[in-house]
Amino acid sequence: MAEIGRLLTAMVTPFDEEGKVGYEQAQRLALALLDSGSDGVVLAGTTGEAPTLSHEEKIRLFGLVKQAVGDRGAVIAGTGTYNTAESVELSREAEFVAQVDGLLLTCPYYNRPPQGDLYAHFSRIASSVPIPCILYNIPSRTGVNMTAETTLKLLEDIPNIVGIKEASGDLGQIGRVIAGAPEGKYVWSGDDQLTLPILSIGGHGVICVVSHLFGKSMKQMIQAYLEGDVVTARDTHLRLLPFMSTLMTAASNPIPIKYALNEMRVRVGGLRLPLSEAEGEVAGKIQQELLKALPVDIAYPIPA
């Protein structure tokens, strides 16, 4: 099993011209991301358009990418949904059939469970598999914030819950989790723009979008900070900040990153409804900020 690591790319799901999952291109993309500094990839998360993928597509995607990656990097499968029983079933298949290295479990969206039910939901899923699980708190999308107290109880009580991807934007809450987390339990930033601030209060790393194009830079920023070179870390952060902001604000993720990848001749295709491709003013804004950030530091274009 591959070590999870500090820099994970929340990978887009490539689609072909007919809107079908491009499994071979997903394998190529995952390998290119590892070559450019990522320690692993997260599949079928927000950036991977999980709500539009079927159960069967997810399992096939998990298995084929893991087959291509082997032990070169971690493959983390997004298996958390708003249905606990469905999440358990998908998680078990991801572990047993696809043999992934870990799971990403998002807070249930739409039904907004109270804190005690969040605890029960995550406990049930994590206890159904032997592999590491990363919680994912993103209240802007799910409509519910998992408190520091609930997170810490899960980290303390459930051995294979190894950490959390925190995208609440609340550095006070994130700091309380970091301060109270048991040894060997980690916090990954869920917002590229907050990676360095979260590292500065003891965070472990980031589950990242901008690393599709600037993986080496993100890796170097993390390493520079860990080595005490805060000036280099700061300068890298500030250089990428405008583009990171554009990826999250120009349109709903993953519209901007898919546009940017296609502009760089990385054929990841379009999006599935209810999302559609960037155009007009939105496309112009993404292109403008991408041009400012060039050159990218990954060996693209990859074969299509």
Tokens read off for 52: 């539009």
**Is 302 assigned a ligand-binding role in the annotation?**
no
Q: Is 165 a catalytic residue?
A: yes
Tokens read off for 272: 């599935």
Q: In whole angstroms, give the CA distance from residue 244 to residue 289.
A: 9
Q: Which residues pair with 163 in a beta bridge?
A: 134, 186
Q: Which residue in 23, 119, 136, 186 is the catalytic one?
A: 136
Q: In whole angstroms, give the CA distance from residue 178 to residue 226.
A: 16
Contact status, residue 191 vs residue 174, Cβ threshold 8 Å: no
Contact status, residue 26 vs residue 65, Cβ threshold 8 Å: yes
Q: Which residue in 66, 165, 185, 219 is the catalytic one?
A: 165
Q: Rounded to 5 degrees, what are φ and ψ at 206? A: -150, 145
Contact status, residue 190 vs residue 156, Cβ threshold 8 Å: no
**Is 207 assigned a ligand-binding role in the annotation?**
yes
Contact status, residue 299 vs residue 36, Cβ threshold 8 Å: yes
Tokens read off for 36: 């450019």
Neighbours of 21 (CB within 10 A): 22
Q: Is 185 a catalytic residue?
A: no
Show binding-site residues for pyruvate: 47, 207
Q: Catalytic site residues?
A: 136, 165
